[in-house]
Amino acid sequence: MATPLYAVGTATLTAGQTAMVGQTTLWLGNVRPYDMVIGQDGSVNLVLTVNSNTSITLLFPWAGATQTAQPYRILYTADDPFTQTLVRQVMQTLAASALVALGGLVPTARQGVYFDAVANAALFSLTDFARTLLDDADAATARTTLGAQAALGYTPVNKAGDSGVGTTSFTNIVNVGFFSATGVSAGFNIAGSSGRLNVSTNSPTTQGLIGFYNPNGNVGFIATTGSATSYSTSSDYRLKTDIEPLVEFTLSGDQFDLVPDALLRVLALRPVRHKWLADPNGPSTHGFVAHEAQIVVPHAVVGEKDAEVDIGNIVTPDKTIITDATEDEVTEGSAWTKTGTRPLYQGIDPSKIVADLTAGLQALTVLVLEQQAQIAALTPQSE
């Protein structure tokens, strides 16, 4: 070939396609496989086959911009037999590699490349934030980038082999929230050689600290008041069915006046037989109805009759939606929208009634002893 390039006529090249269409071109005899095609925008490709004077198939999909009937250039490959053979071997190797798949992609801003098969490549969105995470050197740096520790509010549990794990010391292995032995903040931790669980609240009012749940919902909880702890089991009338008193009686006015106050408190309690709505076919059980007992022994009952709590949906900063959440579960940066309410069930701590029962038994014992003494005084003594 006398000239180093061919540029007769114009050519149409379409982005992502391998077809090259000529206008007033004479490619047969003038263009060979592996000659270099240069588009008007400077994009480069190689000729795979010359199909006719106006049709060429490119080795790779056109990576440049689409051009219609625009100038082009085809640079001839070297005529030197050794160089030509070497070039063709290189091109054949490249044609059989993953570069063919890459050549079919159209570069786009903030995109990454992945292979879904040996010869198939595709693009995926790669945001600025994702790039800041990809260059993190280790998990700790990645957590900092994600803000995981700040958002969760705890120090993650150390993995096996780290300080405190597999040893006899559990001090501060887990911290959730900000545990305070003086109640200045709320949280819990695992500490001490025995792995003791410590829980704190920063409120002197009644606070539920630990809840117990099963598929039927909340079945009990541990709560604190200003100076004591209650170990409450669910006792709300809304959870019960077939409620019947274990004992039925009435007192006349005269009888009422004869009963000591401590014993009246016991008589005012209404022990009942009932079943649970969650298990209506199960066996009956004995207990109290929380709001009834609350009138007599308010110190043993937690919660209020017919109480409810607002629930709604939380939308987190990353657009995750958490349903049926209370407003106090909202974290910084999240939004909460009310969707309804759910019952806030009362509980009762039977251990808090022990002192009242003991006082009633003592009052009854004293009453019996006094009556025995009176009876003995009225009974004639035998000579």
Tens of pLDDT along 355-379? Answer: 999 999 999 999 999 989 999 889 8
Tens of pLDDT along 27-52? Answer: 998 999 989 999 999 899 999 999 99
Percentages helix, strand, coil for the chain (3-state, rounded to 5) are: 25, 35, 40
**pTM of the shown model:** 0.51
Give the single-character DSSP code of 355: H
Please tell me the predicted confidence (pLDDT) of residue 214: 80
Mean pLDDT, rounded, for 156-165 = 46
Delimit the domains of the chain by residue range: 5-95, 157-224
Q: Residue 314's CB: how many other CB atoms inside 10 A?
A: 19
Distance between CA 259 and CA 368 in Å, rounded? Answer: 11
Please tell me the predicted confidence (pLDDT) of residue 379: 85
Distance between CA 195 and CA 340 in Å, rounded? Answer: 40
Distance between CA 340 and CA 321 in Å, rounded? Answer: 16
Phi, psi of 373 (to 5 degrees): -65, -40
Provide the percentage of residues in the chain whose pLDDT is more than 70. Answer: 81
Which one of 3.30.70, 3.40.630, 2.40.30, 1.20.1510 gives the CATH number of domain 5-95? 2.40.30
Tens of pLDDT along 176-198? Answer: 667 777 777 777 777 666 667 78
